[in-house]
Amino acid sequence: MTNKELAKKIIELVGGKENISRAAHCMTRLRLNLKDNDKIQLEDIKAIKGILGAQIQNQQLQIIIGPQVGSIYTEVASFLGTSEEQEDGDGNGNNKKIISKFLDVLSGIFIPVIPGIAGAGMLKAIIALLKAMGLVSQDSYTFQLFNMMADCIFYFLPFFLAVSSAKIFKTNITLAVALAAALLHPTLLNLATAGELTSVGFFGLPVRVVNYTYSVIPIVLGVWILSYVYRFVDKHMPNVMKVIFTPTVVLLIMVPLELIVLGPMGNYAGSALTKFITYLFTVNSFVAGFIMALIRPITVMTGMHQGFTPVIFQNLAELGYDMLLPTMFMSTMAQFGATAAMYFKTKKSEQKSLIISSSFSAIMGITEPALYGILIRYKKAFLAACLGGALGAGYISMTGFRLVSFASSSIVSLPLYFQSNVPDVLIAMFISIVSAFGLAIVLEKPEVTEEKAATGTQIMAPVSGRIADLSSVSDETFSSRVLGDGIAVIPSEGMVYAPINGTVTSLFPTNHAIGIASADGLEVLIHIGLDTVQLNGSNFEAFVKQGQEVRQGDKLIRFELDELKKTYDMITPVLILDKDRILSFDKKAGDYVSFGERIMTVSRK
Instruction: Write down the H helix ranges in 407-497.
Output: 414-417, 422-443, 476-479
Is 527 noted as a catalytic residue in this protein?
A: yes
**Can you give the C-alpha Rg of the chain in angstroms?**
29
For residues 453 and 594, give the distance between their C-alpha atoms in angstroms, rounded to a whole number: 22
- If one counts every other C-beta atom within 10 angstroms of the C-beta of residue 558, the result is 16
Q: For residues 489 and 529, is the Cβ–Cβ distance under 8 A?
A: no
8 A C-beta contact, residue 318 and residue 404: no
Count the neighbouring beta carbons within 10 Å of the beta carbon of residue 566. Answer: 8
**Position 525, amino acid:** L
548 DSSP 8-state letter: -
Compute the distance between CA of residue 291 and CA of residue 440 in angstroms, rounded to an integer: 19
DSSP lists the bridge partners of residue 367 as: none
Report whether 374 contacts 368 (CB < 8 A). no
Beta bridge partners of 489: 467, 572
Other residues' Cβ atoms within 10 Å of the Cβ of residue 543 = 16
Give the whole-angstrom CA distance, residue 183 versus residue 170. 21
- Give me the catalytic one of 26, 305, 386, 512: 26
Distance CA 409, CA 432 (A): 13
Is residue 25 annotated as part of the catalytic site, yes or no? Answer: no
Catalytic option among 25, 305, 512, 527: 527
8 A C-beta contact, residue 385 and residue 334: yes
Task: Give catalytic residues, as residue numbers.
Answer: 26, 527
